[in-house]
Structure 1
Amino acid sequence: MPTSGRRMLLRAGVLVALAVAGAARAQPARTVRVIVGFPAGGGTDAIARLLAEHLKDELGAPVIVENRPGAGGQLAAQALKAAAPDGTTFFLSHDHTISILPLVVKTPGFDPARDFVPVAGFASFVNAFAVSGATPAASLAEYVAWVKTNGGGKGAVGIPAPASTPEFLVKVLGERYRLDLVPAPYRGSAPMIGDMLGNQIAAGVGSVPDLIEQHRAGKLRVVAVLGGARQPALPDVPTLAELGIPGFDDLPYYGVFAPAGTPAAAIDTFSAALRKTLDQRSMRARLTAMGLAVEFMPATQLARRERAYAQSWARIIKASGFQPQ
């Protein structure tokens, strides 16, 4: 072959190689999907969207939040189980779906130990008892007195999901104060709080991140928090233990999980991105203001936390006489 022909082929080969490399660089990074088991507008959704906004920079890929509300996160967990374990789908959840729901539902449609792998934990939080703005009570004792006077000892208390920590708390409070308190389940905290703001229900139990903004605005009042200590975001609100109601000291947690079989490299990448996000002072401040105690937990620590929390609640549920439904 003449020299000129060889040169033309060589140039053509180089151009093809450059085009292929350019096309590879032009391919957008695969979108990362973070599933949330509660409606938009609630505390868990707000946390997920805040983290997603920063995770996209650390991951170098779009991060979207996908709401799959219903059954206390059960539908979202089932969606995670069905997702391809390719490192693009994660589940941001608190304790209820992962640790408690499998204990109270006969056929949840997923087994956390078999179907999921922990990625990282990032915070703990507490639940709280709140009353609507139309309720004159400014404390738990005043709420109890109000129910006895105005409701004949009967009252409905909103809960974000059935067979959850809030439901067990409502039952304990009813027994403690000899009230006929009925848990009224919602599909997440957002619709429950909506009814509280509309004075459709006088009280509700939800997480501090769900309730704190409306409390600060004076539209509802948090009158007691769970956990072993008062919350920095609510320093004037007593704990249940202070009010003589022990047994709710274990702090629930927030964590991220992936479908079983997800490559370890993908899990490590997401975990590292989450850790860098939490290391940002402004991010920690915003999460703290939402009522969270920021605490990064690598996968192994999150797995231990989940098992311990499930074991603790297994004892509480058994002692309550509750039967899985």
Structure 2
Amino acid sequence: MMKRIAVALCVLAVGASAVAQDTFPSKPITFVVPYPAGGGTDVVARALADEMGRRMGQTILVDNKPGAAGILGTMTVVKAPADGHTVLISLVQSALTNQFLFKKLPYDTRRDLAFVTEIATAPLVLAVNASNVPARDLGQLQAWAAKNKGKVNYGSWGPGSFPHLAGSLLSSRGELDMTHVAYKGEAPMTQDLVGGQISFVIGSPLTLKPFIDDGRVRPLAVTGHSRSSVLPQVPTFAESGDKDPAFQLLGWMGMLVPKSTPAPVVARLEKEAREAINSTALRARFQALGLLPLGSTAAEFQADFESALPVWEKLVKVSGAQLD
């Protein structure tokens, strides 16, 4: 009798999965972006929503829920019905590094969310104020900072961001005693770099390029394994002699859903997202933004997440960054 019941339950489960796959999406999908409208993640989410919506024959809305370093928007998705109609478009900090930055976090990415696809990665560039900093490569910057120990400052777009953590690593490794200056976003950080209030930043190539082109900012090195399509003349950190794994890291934008979302629904979202990301139109759009389009499988996304965990954990520990 019990064996028959078990078989019946398995049949019901398979049937439910098939129904989920056949009927999804049954209503508009919402992409939750845990950052303000107008930012890079928002632009990518809206472009992806338009392309996926057209392909799926269903409206995809973008809902910006900024606040608390991405926690507010992330929790919106964690608590949403696990039916594939509420999707998180996340950055590294809210999905990965927050667990090391906050003593108490109301979610655990691996426990509460399912990976769908890594949308794109974003190399960053270390750039100096061309008037105040004589360095023309990474080694010269470190030597100059050593001669000016305690007098060099660097900017980031917020505590716990990669620019903060990477700058802190550079400072601690060389015992350079550099000062971190946190801004509320990349725009004011860039303005102060151009104005000479800070010595260097690690920022997005697209934002810094106009000031690089006019000579007010000098790029020294880019993160990742390959050069930026926006700044192809700038060497990577590895090419510059710094092979620390931290500077091989790339910021990423990823798609995740509530953990118990049916596997066929996750697979459908993965398929549609990957096809959209690899379309000619979106690849060109993302590359123009200085991004590297990916469209990974869910398994590849999770593997990248796991392999990067210890590197990010070390970065946070070295920086001493802690958020409340």
User: TM-score range, shorter-chain basis?
Assistant: 0.7 to 0.9
* Residues 106-135 of structure 1: CA deviation (Å, up to 9, x unaligned): 112210011111111222232222346875
Determine the structure 2 residue equivalent to 1:205: 202
Question: How far apart are the structure 1 equivalents of 2:155 and 2:84?
Answer: 37
Q: Is residue 240 from structure 1 mapped to residue 231 from structure 2 by the alignment?
A: no
Identity %, equivalent residues: 30
Determine the structure 1 residue equivalent to 2:111: 114
Q: Is the 8 A contact 2:154 2:181 kept in 1?
A: yes
Q: Is the 8 A contact 1:43 1:189 kept in 2?
A: no
SS in 2 for 1:162: coil
For structure 1, list consecutive stretches of 5 or more residues without a partner in the other structure. Answer: 1-27
Determine the structure 2 residue equivalent to 1:254: 253
* Residues 190-215 of structure 1: CA deviation (Å, up to 9, x unaligned): 55445556766553323445545665
For structure 2, list consecutive stretches of 5 or more residues without a partner in the other structure. Answer: 1-24
Distance 1:100 1:277, change over 3 A: same
Determine the structure 2 residue equivalent to 1:74: 71
Q: How far 1:44 sits from its partner (Å)?
A: 1.9
SS in 1 for 2:74: helix
Determine the structure 2 residue equivalent to 1:87: 84
Q: Is the 8 A contact 1:72 1:162 kept in 2?
A: no
Distance 1:116 1:314, change over 3 A: same
Distance 1:215 1:94, change over 3 A: farther
Alignment of 1:177-196 (within 5 A): 179-193=176-190, 196=193
Q: Is the 8 A contact 1:38 1:187 kept in 2?
A: no
Determine the structure 2 residue equivalent to 1:57: 54
Question: How far apart are the structure 2 equivalents of 1:147 and 1:39?
Answer: 35
Determine the structure 2 residue equivalent to 1:103: 100
SS in 1 for 2:303: helix
* Residues 6-44 of structure 1: CA deviation (Å, up to 9, x unaligned): xxxxxxxxxxxxxxxxxxxxxx96332212233233222
Distance 1:176 1:292, change over 3 A: same
Give the partner amino acid of 2:312.
Answer: W
Question: How far apart are the structure 2 equivalents of 1:123 and 1:257?
Answer: 14
Distance 1:209 1:309, change over 3 A: farther
Question: How far apart are the structure 2 equivalents of 1:238 and 1:297?
Answer: 26
Determine the structure 2 residue equivalent to 1:46: 43
So what's the TM-score if we normalise by structure 2? 0.76
Report which of the two structures shows the higher radius of gyration computed on alpha carbons.
Answer: 1
Provide the aligned C-alpha RMSD in A: 3.3
Alignment of 1:1-325 (within 5 A): 30-131=27-128, 139=136, 153-175=150-172, 179-193=176-190, 196=193, 201-208=198-205, 211-212=208-209, 215=212, 220-247=217-244, 248-318=247-317, 320=318, 322=320
SS in 2 for 1:180: coil
SS in 2 for 1:123: strand
Question: How far apart are the structure 2 equivalents of 1:251 and 1:200?
Answer: 27
Distance 1:161 1:262, change over 3 A: farther
Q: Is the 8 A contact 1:39 1:187 kept in 2?
A: no
SS in 2 for 1:236: coil
Q: Is the 8 A contact 1:74 1:97 kept in 2?
A: yes
Question: How far apart are the structure 2 equivalents of 1:271 and 1:176?
Answer: 40
Give the partner amino acid of 2:109.
Answer: P
Q: Is the 8 A contact 2:150 2:179 kept in 1?
A: no
Give the partner amino acid of 2:31.
Answer: V
Question: How far apart are the structure 1 equivalents of 2:251 and 2:172?
Answer: 23
SS in 1 for 2:305: helix
Q: Is the 8 A contact 2:156 2:201 kept in 1?
A: yes
Question: How far apart are the structure 1 equivalents of 2:164 and 2:279?
Answer: 36
SS in 1 for 2:66: coil
SS in 2 for 1:238: coil
Q: How far 1:57 sits from its partner (Å)?
A: 0.5
Question: How far apart are the structure 1 equivalents of 2:131 and 2:67?
Answer: 28
Q: Is the 8 A contact 2:160 2:316 kept in 1?
A: no
Q: How far 1:225 sits from its partner (Å)?
A: 1.0
So what's the TM-score if we normalise by structure 1? 0.76
Question: How far apart are the structure 2 equivalents of 1:214 and 1:181?
Answer: 23
Matched residues, number: 296
